C-alpha cells in the first residue's frame, strides 16, 4: 500500500512555501497601497464616460483599447444602441482624458461625448465587511456541524479544526494567487472575486468531508489498525474519486477560460486555483494534520495526549 501520509512533512513545507509568500505579498500590498489587493471600480468608484460613435463599437474592443493605453480595468457596455458606450474606469485626470480621446479618435473615429463624470463605489465597505462576517459565521457553523456529524469518532473536534484549516489554506492560496497577479498583471478585486472565494470555500469543505467520511468508516471497520494506517488507506480509497471530480470541474473551467468571455477570466482562473488547492488540501493537508495531531507531532506535542499511539508499536500486556 503506497504511503501518502508518510511524506506529510513535505506537504506541510510545500504549503508553507506557497502560503507564506502569498501572505507576504498581501502584507506588502497592504503597506504600499493600503489594501491586500488592487481594488476595482466596484470598490473605489471612478469615472463614468459616455460616448457615441458613428459606427457600432464592440465593448470587448474598447476594453482592449483601454488595456493597451495602460488602464487595466475598464468596464464597458452599450447603452441605448450599439454605437453608444458607457465606460467606467478609475479616476481619469484631464490630461489622461485628452490623451485617451486622441488615441480613441484614431482607432474608432471621433466620438460625441455625451457624459463624463465621477461615480461612487457600488460595493461599499459595509458589503465587504458583511461578506467577511458571513464567511466567519459560516466557518463556525461548519465546525459545529462536523463535530456533530463525527461525534462517534474519537476527537471529533480535530476533524472540524482540520477541515477549517484546510479551508483557510485554500482561501489563502486563491487570495495569494490573485494578489500576485495583481502585482504582475494588474488584476483588480471586484465582486466576482468575492464570489470565487465563496465557491472555493464551499468546494473545499465538501471535498474534505468526503475524505473524512471514509476515515470514519474505516475507523469503525478496521479497529486493529493504527490511525495512521487507517488514514492512509482512506486516502488511497478515495483518491480516484477525488481526481475524477477534480477533472470534471476542470473541464468546465478550462472551457470557460479558453472560449468564454474576457470579463470572467480572472474569476474562473481564481476558482481554478482555489479548487485545485481544495482537492490538494483535503488529501495532503487535512488528513495528515489529523495524523500529526494523533501522534502528537510538532505543535501538537503540547496538546496531543496520545503520544503512546506511535505507528508500528505493539503494546504487550
Partner 1 sequence: MQSRNNLTLFILIILVALATYIALPIEHFDLFKSIFAPGQEGELAMTLRQGLDLQGGTQIQLEPDLPTGEKATEEQLNLARAIIERRVNGLGVNESLVQTGKDRIIVALPGVKNSDAAIDTLRGTGQLEFVDLGDNPLRLGAGAKINTTNGTVEDAVTEQVFKTVMTGDKLKNVDVRRDQSTQEPYIAFELTKEGSEIFGKYSGENVGKILAIVMDHVILSAPRINSQIRDAGIITGKFTLDEAQNLAIQMKYGALPVPLKVVDVRTVGPSLGEDSVRRSLLAGTIGVIVVLLFMLAFYRLPGFLADLALLSFVAFNVSLYKLIPVVLTLPGIAGFLLTTGTAVDANILIFERMREELRAGRSLSSAIEAGFSRAWTSILDSNLSTILTGLILLYFGSNFGASVVQGFAITLIIGVLVSMFTAVFATRTFMRFVIYTFGDTLKDKLSWFSV
Q: What 3 state SS string does 201-257 have?
A: HHHHHHHHHHHHHHHHHHHHHCCCCCHHHHHHHHHHHHHHHHHHHHHHHHHHHHHHH
Whose Cβ is closer to partner 1: residue 18's or residue 249's? 249
Specify the long-range contacts of residues 104-109, CB closer than 8 Å, at least 24 apart.
104/51, 104/65, 107/65, 108/53, 108/55, 108/57, 108/61, 108/62, 108/65, 109/53, 109/54, 109/55
Whose Cβ is closer to partner 1: residue 28's or residue 251's? 251
What's the closest the beta carbon of residue 67 comes to partner 1, in angstroms? Answer: 14
Whose Cβ is closer to partner 1: residue 7's or residue 220's? 220
What's the closest the beta carbon of residue 49 comes to partner 1, in angstroms? Answer: 12
Whose Cβ is closer to partner 1: residue 10's or residue 254's? 254
Count Cβ atoms within 10 A of the Cβ of residue 112 and give its class: 0-12 exposed, 13-18 middle, 19 or more buried: exposed
What's the closest the beta carbon of residue 259 comes to partner 1, in angstroms? Answer: 4
What's the closest the beta carbon of residue 308 comes to partner 1, in angstroms? Answer: 30
What's the closest the beta carbon of residue 271 comes to partner 1, in angstroms? Answer: 7
Whose Cβ is closer to partner 1: residue 12's or residue 116's? 116
Whose Cβ is closer to partner 1: residue 42's or residue 228's? 42
CB 242 within 8 Å of CB 283? yes
What's the closest the beta carbon of residue 307 comes to partner 1, in angstroms? Answer: 30
C-alpha cell at 242: 477525488
CB 89 within 8 Å of CB 46? yes
CB 160 within 8 Å of CB 144? yes
What's the closest the beta carbon of residue 15 comes to partner 1, in angstroms? Answer: 22
Q: From residue 270, how far is each of 61, 171, 276 by CA, in Å? A: 24, 10, 10
CB 311 within 8 Å of CB 228? yes
| Local structure of 200: helix, strand or coil | helix
Whose Cβ is closer to partner 1: residue 72's or residue 249's? 249
Amino acid at each position: 500500500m503506497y504511503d501518502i501520509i508518510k511524506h506529510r512533512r513535505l506537504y506541510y513545507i510545500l504549503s508553507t512555501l506557497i502560503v507564506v509568500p502569498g501572505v507576504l505579498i498581501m502584507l506588502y500590498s497592504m503597506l504600499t497601497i493600503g489594501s491586500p489587493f488592487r481594488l476595482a471600480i466596484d470598490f473605489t468608484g471612478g469615472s463614468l464616460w459616455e460616448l457615441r460613435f458613428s459606427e457600432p463599437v464592440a465593448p470587448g474592443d474598447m476594453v482592449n483599447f483601454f488595456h493597451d493605453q495602460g488602464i487595466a480595468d475598464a468596464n464597458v457596455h452599450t447603452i441605448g444602441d450599439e454605437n453608444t458606450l458607457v465606460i467606467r474606469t478609475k479616476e481619469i485626470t484631464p490630461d489622461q482624458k485628452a490623451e485617451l480621446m486622441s488615441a480613441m479618435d484614431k482607432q474608432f473615429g471621433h466620438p460625441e461625448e455625451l457624459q463624463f463624470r465621477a461615480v461612487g463605489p457600488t460595493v461599499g465597505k459595509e458589503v465587504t465587511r458583511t461578506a467577511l462576517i458571513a464567511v466567519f459565521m459560516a466557518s463556525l457553523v461548519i465546525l459545529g456541524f462536523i463535530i456533530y456529524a463525527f461525534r462517534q469518532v474519537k476527537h471529533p473536534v480535530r476533524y472540524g479544526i482540520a477541515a477549517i484549516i484546510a479551508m483557510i489554506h485554500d482561501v489563502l492560496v486563491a487570495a495569494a494567487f490573485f494578489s500576485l497577479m495583481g502585482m504582475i498583471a494588474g488584476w483588480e478585486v471586484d465582486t466576482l472575486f468575492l464570489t470565487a472565494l465563496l465557491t472555493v470555500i464551499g468546494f473545499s469543505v465538501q471535498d474534505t468531508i468526503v475524505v473524512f467520511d471514509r476515515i470514519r468508516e474505516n475507523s469503525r471497520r478496521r479497529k486493529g489498525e493504527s490511525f495512521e494506517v487507517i488514514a492512509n488507506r482512506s486516502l488511497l480509497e478515495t483518491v480516484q474519486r477525488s481526481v475524477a471530480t477534480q477533472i470534471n470541474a476542470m473541464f468546465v473551467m478550462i472551457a470557460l477560460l479558453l472560449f468564454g468571455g474576457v470579463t470572467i477570466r480572472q474569476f474562473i482562473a481564481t476558482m481554478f486555483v482555489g479548487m485545485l488547492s481544495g482537492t490538494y488540501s483535503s488529501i495532503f493537508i487535512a488528513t495528515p494534520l489529523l495524523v500529526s495531531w494523533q501522534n502528537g507531532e510538532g505543535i501538537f506535542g503540547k496538546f496531543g495526549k496520545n503520544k503512546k499511539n506511535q505507528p508500528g508499536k505493539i503494546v504487550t500486556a
